[in-house]
Structure 1
Amino acid sequence: MMISAATPFNLLGQNLSLLPQKAIYWEQQKALIIADVHFGKVGHFRKAGIAVPRDMEQSDLATLSDLVYEHRPEKLLFLGDLFHSDMNNDWDWFILWRSQFPGLQIILIRGNHDIIADSHYQQLNIQLYDELLLGPFLLMHQPLQGDELQNAEGYVFCGHIHPGVCLSGRGRQQITLPCFAFGGRQAILPSFGKFTGKVAIRSQKTDRIFAVLKDKVMAID
């Protein structure tokens, strides 16, 4: 296991570490925050006859295990879309992974892809919420807009849109990297799953954008 470089970020008096594995470690809560894992997506596509490497799911689970071993969290907070669709054979891999960390508190904020029956999660001792206020942060899946965002009872942490930032280099080369996007009242996390896309987002001048590279997280001025 390789120890990763973390980028510290203080928000509302809370100490956050932005990790290149596209997760956040929240010091005060001893919690890892992760969005849009989409476990089961590989099995979903393979079932439809689309050739996808089998080991992609195990790779995401191995990364998740590395994060738990490295940071020793008490809580694991999933901001929706933990499993991609209906149950398939990849669920068995997730059951095996869960058995390795029986004392870890796991909370899932339901996302639009989380359609598996609650009972299956409850059998794995996973708590389910539509949204959850924890400290100064309101944990959700989809971003809020307009009055809903202004009237939210906490600073929103969410996912759903798989945000990316487009960077330009010499010779007009462009690359879109996953990113953490912190606005005035809302933070959007990158998608954790490797088998997911990303959409370049438009940021306001007041936003703090952090691009995710292979082994570090870099603030974008």
Structure 2
Amino acid sequence: MSASPSGILDIVIQEQHWQLHPYKAAYWQETKTLLISDLHLGKSAHFRRAGIAAPKAVEGTNTDRLISLLLHFAPTRVLLLGDLFHSDYNAVWDDWCALVRQFLPIRFELVPGNHDILPAPRYAEAQLKMLPVRYAEGPFLFSHEPLAKDSSGSLYNICGHIHPAVQLQGSGRQKLRLPCFYFGRDAGIMPAFGAFTGLACIPVQAQDRVYGITDTAVLELAS
């Protein structure tokens, strides 16, 4: 395991080499795959349409960070672990389609999550390959929601959905919550990529590997 000057952390998981990026994405080197979960694109527009105040800038943040990742890693594939789009269609989906076209021939593939409710033609127009809700590749079983311990067999489950965070205790009563990458005995949980998503602190057991995410770096917190 090592950290690069760009704040990226190199780890080995199931004998595969991953790079954890502070933009809350992971790069699987052996397959040249960029892994992202829980973008929740269009979420702020969805709330604004419902009359609820929500920041517009988050959509630009999501797009800018994704473009930066694509340029940095130059993957051949982006594997999306669910909740790509938050709800019903809005104009943010058109922006997503334009981004995919811009970066062809990179393949974009989606393991669907509970928020991925758009009609099938929408995913087709975005040139998204729809994968099964449980997608096995190499030593991993990818899903959006965590799988039961006995359902993945010998494969290591990689999922999203939880929006994991870890709480740090400072001097006095100071507390800080950080989004994190979490790798337990049976499963790993990706952080939520989207800029307008919540956090859920997760319990950490002995031997779990937890990597906190700041604005500029991924840091080992427990292993």
Q: TM-score range by the shorter chain?
A: over 0.9
How far has the Cα of 1:153 moved from its partner? 4.6
Change (3 A) 1:153 1:88: farther
CA contact (8 A) 1:138 1:153 kept: no
The 8 Å contact of residues 183 and 206 in structure 1, kept in 2 or not, is answered as yes
Question: Which AA in structure 2 matches 1:134?
Answer: E
Task: Judge conservation of contact 2:100–2:108 (CA < 8 Å) in 1.
Answer: no
Q: In the alignment, is the contact (CA less than 8 A) between 1:159 and 1:188 conserved in 2?
A: yes
Alignment of 1:65-76 (within 5 A): 65-76=67-78
> Which amino acid in 2 is paired with 1:154?
L
Q: Which amino acid aligns with 1:111?
A: G
Provide the rounded CA distance (Å) in 2 between the counterparts of 1:54 and 1:74: 30
CA RMSD of aligned residues (A): 1.2
What TM-score, normalized by structure 1, do the two folds share?
0.95
Question: Given the alignment of the two structures, is residue 180 of structure 1 paired with residue 181 of structure 2, yes or no?
Answer: yes
Q: What residue in structure 2 maps to residue 7 of structure 1?
A: 9
Normalising by structure 2, we get a TM-score of 0.94
Letter in 1 for 2:130: L
SS of residue matched to 1:64 = helix
Describe the SS at the equivalent of 2:90: coil
2:42 equivalent in structure 1: 40
2:25 aligns with: 23
How far off its partner does 1:118 sit?
1.8
Q: How does 1:8-157 map to 2 (within 5 A)?
A: 8-129=10-131, 130-148=133-151, 151-157=152-158
The residue aligned with 2:192 is 191
Matched residues, number: 217
C-alpha distance in 2 between matches for 1:59 and 1:5:
18
* Structure 1 residue 54 displacement after superposition: 1.5
Question: Hey, which bits of structure 1, 4+ residues long, moved more than 3 A?
Answer: none
Distance 1:152 1:61 in 2: 36
Aligned-partner Cα distance in 1 for 2:155–2:60: 35
Cα drift, residue 195 of structure 1:
0.0
Structure 2: runs of 5+ lacking an equivalent: none
SS in 2 for 1:28: helix
Report the identity percentage: 40
Aligned CA distance change for structure 1 residues 146 and 155 (closer, same or farther; 3 Å): closer
In the TM superposition, residue 122 of structure 1 has moved relative to its aligned partner by 1.5
**1:100-131 per-position Cα deviation (integer Å, ceiling 9, x unaligned):** 11211111000000000122112222111222
3-state SS of 1:170 partner? coil
Unaligned runs of 5+ in 1: none
Offset at residue 13 of structure 1 (A): 1.5
In 2, Cα distance between the equivalents of 1:210 and 1:94? 29
**Shift of the alpha carbon at 1:55?**
2.1
CA–CA distance in structure 1, aligned partners of residues 120 and 161 of structure 2: 20
How far the C-alpha of 1:14 sits from its partner, in A, is 0.6
